[in-house]
A and B are shown apart, each in its own frame.
Chain A
Amino acid sequence: MKNEEHFIEQVKVIYRSLLWFCIVCFGLGFLILLIHFNPDLIKEEPTITAIEEEVSSDITETIRDSIHADTGLIKADGLTEVINNCTNCHSAKIIIQNRMTRENWLMSIRWMQETQNLWDLGENENIILDYLATHYAPKEKGRRENLIVEEWYVLEKGQ
């Protein structure tokens, strides 16, 4: 009887150990998968993080009518990455004025990296290029456009 009880007790211990082992394995597996798909989680955070968070919360608050109020940039995927990486040295106004193909936006980024101290954009580079090439793409305008009159006004005689 005693032996039988002892045997059952031992089986329970093994069962519990196996159960814990499985839980730990499952948990570790989950973590490995998570890191595999989000490598940012274990990367050393740059010092800019604090600003990033501050800017990010700002972005959600000040977007009106698809334009980000503080910068004038179009609200779309990639806006945060553009603000965080592209407006530290120069104004967003120089982005908004320009129209380029993806290839030429990339050339501008390379030029800034070679001569203007722009850092390596890492995985954000593609996000930024997608954003710029989609929302600030060139438009065919021919050899000379029609005049746009801002305001028609009556010019009195003798003025």
Chain B
Amino acid sequence: MNRRDFMSKTTLGALTVAVGAPVVYGHLMPNGYKPLALQDPDPFSLFKKDKEMKVLNDRPWNIEARAHLLNDKITPNHSMFIRNNGLLPENIDIKQWTLTIDGESVTEQKTYTLDELKTRFKHHTYQLTLECAGNGRKEFNPPAKGNQWGLGAVHCCEWTGIRLRDVLDEVGINDAAVYIGYHAADIHLSRDPGKEPISRGVPMAKAYQEETLLAFQMNGEDIPMAHGYPLRLIAGGWPASASGKWINRISVRNQVHDGTKMTGKAYRVPCKPVAPGSEVKDEDMCIIESMPVKSLITYPRSGAILKSGQQLNINGHAWAGELEVSKMEYSIDFGATWKACDLEKPVNRLAWQHFSASVSFPEVGYYEVWARATDSKGRSQPMLLPGWNPKGYLNNACHRIAVKVS
């Protein structure tokens, strides 16, 4: 499916939504004619996103959810954030799509068609939490450069695919292997074919985890275009940028992968804590691996007005990168006292966990409900912003919603 086909196949449906009425004689529209209503593409119909999603950037597309849109246990496509570094691939023909495994540390370079991948290796399905490393960036002070994500750059979908390690084992890799790096079909913003918008990866230990997949399905269907159709690497619990979209090549490296956005300050934080606003040398920046413990109250939406004496049932999700969440609490007195929430076990490793609680308020007034998760190593979410870093990553400060009791 190339982008034009994708556009035209979805055009009539999208137009119906966008224009608010079926397009009479739509089937007679000449090929290549761009309907007026689509000349300024509407991302909501183009990517089938909820109208309440927030568009941060349109070239490249960066769209985030709001907390209350993430209430489902398994995130549906319409509430998934989009973080693109380049332009969408333009000509996707799944019959021609191949994945090449190469690099210094493979015994012999090998290329698979999509069909070969699907038929030769065993399929696995996992719910996996993917959070953008820059989720929460907008709160850092002094501000950090980049898309100013609020709190909606996280999702937990059900991914189906094959284990990366099964493929690597068949290809054969040597003992010098250190890292894998992905390469993909997206296009650099400058349209320079010699540049890759992003080419990140993970160390061999992460590449060899059971849950690290080469996925071709999301929530039981083909992966949506914006999320990596037809093939996406999924490395749950790590910065979502490690889960490369539209991948066509994986290099097994004998060094830490040095592709675009692996070096400099990208997806790195100071190895040692620094004061806010400090200048940090590139060599003092370390690659982010597991994401920190975090949670979101996804019900109710911030701004609820209750009657005096009315109970408030809250619920949401908590996750902790490579670890499990062992405790979930809430506070209605700005962190002075905490009460326990009911917390479910994860469906599988690296899936987010669901929590709920029934909250009572002692008297009328303005309240904030704060949520705090603690991971299996005893580390909790901070109430204020965690350590400042030049690029504004890893903000896991507790989520807060406002409530009035009248």
Interface residues of A: mostly helix, strand, loop or mixed? Answer: loop
Interface residue total, chain B, C-beta cutoff 8 A: 37
A38 within 8 A of B: no
Do the beta carbons of B303 and A149 come within 8 Å of each other? Answer: yes
Given contacts A143-B384, A144-B385, A147-B402, contact A153 B55 (CB under 8 A): no
Interface string of B133-162 (1 = CB under 8 A from A): 000000101110111100000000000000
B286 within 8 A of A: no
B368 within 8 A of A: yes
Do the beta carbons of A108 and B189 come within 8 Å of each other? Answer: no
Interface string of A116-146 (1 = CB under 8 A from B): 1100000000000000000000101111110
State A149–B312 Cα separation when bound (angstroms).
18
Do the beta carbons of A145 and B307 come within 8 Å of each other? Answer: no
Complex interface: stretch among A12-20, A22-30, A57-65, A86-94: A86-94
Given contacts A89-B189, A117-B192, A155-B304, contact A98 B310 (CB under 8 A): no
Measured between beta carbons, the chain A residues less than 8 angstroms from B404 are 152
Which chain B residues numbered 285 to 317 have a C-beta less than 8 Å away from chain A?
A: 300-307, 310, 312
Do the beta carbons of B58 and A91 come within 8 Å of each other? Answer: yes
B209 within 8 A of A: no
State A141–B388 Cα separation when bound (angstroms).
13
A45 within 8 A of B: no
Do the beta carbons of B368 and A147 come within 8 Å of each other? Answer: yes
Interface string of A82-126 (1 = CB under 8 A from B): 000000011101100111100010001000000011000000000
B128 to chain A, nearest CB (A): 28
Beta-carbon nearest neighbor of B305 in chain A: A154
Do the beta carbons of B302 and A149 come within 8 Å of each other? Answer: yes
Do the beta carbons of B402 and A97 come within 8 Å of each other? Answer: no
B59 within 8 A of A: yes
A2 within 8 A of B: no
Given contacts A144-B385, A152-B404, contact A100 B145 (CB under 8 A): yes
From A138, A147, A152, contact of B143 by CB (8 A): A138
B173 within 8 A of A: no
Interface string of B388-403 (1 = CB under 8 A from A): 0000000001001110
Do the beta carbons of A138 and B368 come within 8 Å of each other? Answer: no
B225 within 8 A of A: no
Interface residues of B: mostly helix, strand, loop or mixed? Answer: loop
A157 within 8 A of B: yes
Given contacts A147-B402, A155-B300, contact A94 B141 (CB under 8 A): no
State A108–B144 Cα separation when bound (angstroms).
12
Do the beta carbons of A145 and B147 come within 8 Å of each other? Answer: no
Beta-carbon nearest neighbor of B260 in chain A: A115
A87 to chain B, nearest CB (A): 8
Do the beta carbons of A108 and B145 come within 8 Å of each other? Answer: yes
Given contacts A91-B58, A91-B59, contact A151 B303 (CB under 8 A): yes
A145 to chain B, nearest CB (A): 7
B57 within 8 A of A: yes
Beta-carbon nearest neighbor of A98 in chain B: B145
Given contacts A98-B146, A147-B402, contact A152 B305 (CB under 8 A): yes
State A151–B383 Cα separation when bound (angstroms).
24
State A138–B306 Cα separation when bound (angstroms).
37
Do the beta carbons of B384 and A98 come within 8 Å of each other? Answer: no
Measured between beta carbons, the chain B residues less than 8 angstroms from A117 are 190, 192, 195
Measured between beta carbons, the chain B residues less than 8 angstroms from A141 are 139, 141
B56 within 8 A of A: yes
Do the beta carbons of B303 and A94 come within 8 Å of each other? Answer: no
Measured between beta carbons, the chain A residues less than 8 angstroms from B190 are 89, 116-117
Do the beta carbons of A155 and B402 come within 8 Å of each other? Answer: no
B32 to chain A, nearest CB (A): 24
A4 within 8 A of B: no
State A98–B55 Cα separation when bound (angstroms).
14
State A142–B384 Cα separation when bound (angstroms).
10
Measured between beta carbons, the chain A residues less than 8 angstroms from B142 are 138
Measured between beta carbons, the chain B residues less than 8 angstroms from A44 are none
Measured between beta carbons, the chain A residues less than 8 angstroms from B192 are 117
A141 to chain B, nearest CB (A): 5
B interface, CB within 8 angstroms of A:
55-60, 139, 141-143, 145-148, 189-190, 192, 195, 300-307, 310, 312, 368, 383-385, 397, 400-402, 404
Sample (14) of A-B pairs whose CB atoms are under 8 Å apart: A89-B59, A93-B58, A94-B147, A138-B142, A138-B143, A140-B141, A141-B139, A141-B141, A144-B385, A147-B402, A149-B302, A151-B303, A152-B304, A157-B307
Q: What are the 7 closest A-B residue pairs judged by CB atoms, nearest first? A: A155-B304, A91-B59, A117-B190, A149-B303, A97-B148, A89-B189, A143-B384
A93-B59, A97-B148, A138-B142 known, 7 other contacts, Cβ within 8 Å = A93-B58, A97-B57, A100-B145, A108-B145, A147-B401, A152-B404, A154-B305
